Structure 1
């Protein structure tokens, strides 16, 4: 339990700390642990196990299954690369990236749920990786999500180059996309902590890099596809062109540098940083609203990148 995050409850001598998150520092005695409350000015103190609510544990069988899934994802990339640019196996890579995103968000929500503050139902995504059990899943799932996204973008650039040899990495937005995938991996490996330490700084930086990289990639990628002549084989019709239609018609906002989506995403990050600096306490109503908006923005980004599966399937 040492180093884990808990939520305090049922305290008689320190009732003001009921509902506060705390970090377990060390074992005090049998059935008692020394904890440091988060977000309040209080010295570490000993508390009984019965007064600590922990997050759910990841069963050992699922831990093993998690690493089997990692191996299968790496194998998928290797097989798709070996199959060559005309193989539809490549379309499975962005789908796998989306699946890892869903595993990260839904799995961490389940593990983190017992730690939710009263009245909070939709936390910011980063908050769901603070417990030790959820942290493992968060790191693995988002790490693989970023890796598979990078592979997807390289595959897409290869597809674009095959039909239009004059395209550059600037035209396709490849570099910005790789920056976004790096940000996803960085904020996944460096999870949010209760204090405003280096790992928290790296996590928040990774989240911001993800957003800026995504917006810039979407702007360049959508712009390049719009400039294609009508006879381009990349301008598919029917279901084969669904991905392109999705990006051009429904996610146009991602390509706008002044998009309000950036502000919507940044506000929860500022709230998270402010709480760790002790500027304010948990704001339940605000956190629910910001959580919903952040989930919606991130889901839109995930769908945007996954739409490349249709392009890769229609090689």
Structure 2
């Protein structure tokens, strides 16, 4: 059996959360859940951005998403999924042909190797079907804990927290954690947020990181979480400057949600690619 590590939330707030220096553990949990609710209102369109129609396709897409964008993966997978429809097809794939298909995603040789071995492992251990348990998924080639949680949450409806670079960065900024290790972050956030919300929370935090809370210059003055975030002020707090930093097709709606004049959001921001 897979033995899940145990982590307990620190009694004192993270060092970065000076704005909440006197916050109790219970207070942090309440604030985190309130922020999660606001994120749900802010990003009603949050979803898994990898295209798939079944669990195997999602597993393959997540393997391909390493070191590249979801957009790039979605450009490659239609042809890949049409050619390889089962674990057996991946196991028997011609390496050179698959490498040619995967070349645009980068690291295509390693990814080809992972997909062929994944197909073989599924045939050998699971009758060609993707397992529904985390401890079995993480033993498969090319699938780590983050990938397993993506599969469980989005293909099987099993709640899971996906800690990518955005999720790690934002949960530290939010003062929910003071930690860089993805597994520790996963377990610490799991203690703050109700289990039923884990999967969608992951999507919403990632959307917020791509559209509002950017790594270098977050749009603090146009953020719906401003009143609850200890990192408020990391980016510009003046509405006009912050509005220009919003990105994506809902940039003007995000401004409205934050109480900012949507006319301050330039057309370029709406059309700008979101942070990868």
In proportion to residue count, which structure has more helix? Answer: 1
In proportion to residue count, which structure has more strand? Answer: 1
Larger Cα Rg: Structure 1 or Structure 2? 1
Is TM more than 0.5 here? no
